[in-house]
Chain A
């Protein structure tokens, strides 16, 4: 069995599973945020009216809550959703609630790794599609809607069809100017936004072994954009060290068997990878940066669970050090812990000296919610994950998806720029 089959066999109490088997898997961790949480509350209210007992969760200690999409609240509906969420966690005795304005908080997927909320080999479900991110820690991490999450919170299990696995093998270490974001954009460009539909996308090979945990998180994050059920990397010592540093203990690594089966294997050579962007209006609409259209950008956005981890900020700072931005540029670290490290290590000064505005952690403009959305006809280069029509604001605005290096280089020139071509 491969790693996903092994995790799901264990979680369903079976000796083995194969693709297409339908199982009920015991869940180890579950997450809701300020969009899916109020959805769950609404489902609970409906169940209560039907006479179904919703007084207790299956295990409050395994549930955690993030405030990320609509914080800081821009208007009263969002503010009220946060109050609802806080009452919910209080009523059900959920202790792990990362609150805006009270120390560590951030985008749920970033909290999942910054706070070691999920461990290798676990089944982790979240009420958000980018829950796939956390598969980089060697867990089965999968996004669900709020009805499914409500079911998990009450029953501690959920149904899955065992996915086939696509294996993406990267040979050799990525060159300095190429980031994991470029690789995942290239892959989505190759297989399309339904190229991984209902399947697992697993990443391996010497290039992945060489990669930092944070880069692997970027890869798994955007498996969602290929339609995948989950993304995963087999855990190694780097994952153990990363999680241990963040307070985890009793880590057991689950790995696939040497004769594991994959539906298809794709091979990529690191030496052939180039800085890449996805043009509007789809993540599959990719082109290498040097062939990108010569458009005048209005904005550069360095934020989100995809592109505002510490490593992403470090990459942007490397470019912006001693330079000035030519267009409106925002950096929003994805969690307070990252914000703090960026401050301690001088990154915030580099950003501010370059003319960048540094904002608080939030999903904010990534999903067109608030805090810096785009006007009609505005063009943005962004380290986020989606560029569908209207994704970051007006339905006639445009977003190019890129790595933090490319977003920073483009901020300096006002054009889509390969970091190698900066003076």
Chain B
């Protein structure tokens, strides 16, 4: 899966900045997407392209259980968020609803991948190739259940053993 990176070099990007509370009444996904990241980056909606990735630090998606957060990012075109760590509800919402891939990365990848870099994520080999910089990083493999739910295409398509 190839795409370009939008980088937010900070920790604790919370659900209130991913999609502010005043928009929680909206359940039209296209409209929600126009407000994605509004609390942090008013340019996001104009610069994001289909297939882009977000790169960020620790505890991405902390705060609320609002599924609006992965939905707003996904309907903006974001296919994966790469972060040093994720808050639990954002992580499970992203996977169970099959909105986007939450990819846990290490400090090496976080430091070396820059805004605009083109990268290629391979969740089978757990490798991230930086095409722009000709570098390769490891991603943290998904746990067994997460891998199976992703493979199935979300929780409703997953058949427990």
Contacts and interface: CB of A to CB of B under 8 A. Distances in A.
A binds B: yes
Interface of A: 22, 24, 35-36, 38-39, 42, 47, 52, 69-70, 77-78, 81, 127-129, 131, 143-148, 151, 159, 161, 193-194, 197-198, 227, 229, 282, 367-370, 373, 386, 388-391, 395
B89 A391 contact: no
Contacts of B25: 35, 69-70, 77-78, 81, 369
B26 A77 contact: yes
7 contacts: A144-B92, A145-B92, A197-B87, A227-B62, A367-B21, A369-B22, A391-B16
B17 A390 contact: yes
A129 B65 contact: yes
Nearest to A69: B24
A349 to B, nearest CB: 32
Contact of A145 (B24, B97, B144): B97
A31 B22 CA distance: 21
A143 B89 contact: yes
Contact of B93 (A148, A388, A389, A395): A148
B39 A395 contact: yes
Given A369-B24, A391-B21, A146 B85 contact: no
Interface in B89-147: 89, 92-93, 96-97, 143-145
B154 to A, nearest CB: 7
Given A52-B156, A147-B67, A388 B89 contact: no
Interface of B: 12, 14, 16-17, 20-22, 24-27, 38-40, 58-59, 62-68, 85, 87-89, 92-93, 96-97, 143-145, 154-156, 160
B88 A36 contact: no
Residue with the highest number of chain A CB atoms closer than 10 Å, among B20, B26, B65? B65
B92 A148 contact: yes
A385 to B, nearest CB: 10
Chain A interface, DSSP helix/strand/loop, else mixed = loop
B143 A127 contact: no
A101 B67 CA distance: 28
A15 B12 CA distance: 38
B contacts with A: majority SS: loop
B16 A127 contact: no
Given A47-B156, A52-B156, A77-B26, A388 B65 contact: no
A47 B154 CA distance: 12
Q: Please list the 9 inter-chain residue pairs (A to B) with the smallest Cβ-Cβ separation, ordered nearest first.
A: A367-B21, A145-B93, A145-B67, A129-B65, A147-B97, A194-B59, A368-B21, A388-B16, A143-B65
Contacts of B66: 35, 145
Nearest to A50: B156
A129 B92 contact: no
Given A39-B27, A147-B155, A390-B39, A193 B62 contact: yes
B94 to A, nearest CB: 9
Contacts of B87: 194, 197, 227
Contacts of A389: 16-17, 39-40
Contacts of B64: 128-129, 367
A370 B63 CA distance: 19
A134 B66 CA distance: 19
B93 A368 contact: no
A129 B59 CA distance: 15
A229 B88 CA distance: 7
Contacts of A198: 88
B12 A193 contact: yes
B88 A197 contact: yes
Contacts of A143: 65, 89
A147 B155 CA distance: 8
Nearest to B12: A193
Contacts of B93: 145, 147-148
Given A148-B96, A194-B85, A197-B85, A368 B20 contact: yes
Given A35-B66, A198-B88, A282-B12, A367 B24 contact: yes
Nearest to B66: A35
Contacts of B155: 147-148, 151, 159
Given A36-B65, A145-B67, A22 B144 contact: yes
Contacts of A127: 65
A22 B145 contact: yes
A240 B16 CA distance: 37
Nearest to A42: B27
B75 to A, nearest CB: 13
Contacts of A77: 25-26
Contacts of A52: 156
A77 B24 CA distance: 10
A129 B89 contact: yes
B96 A145 contact: yes
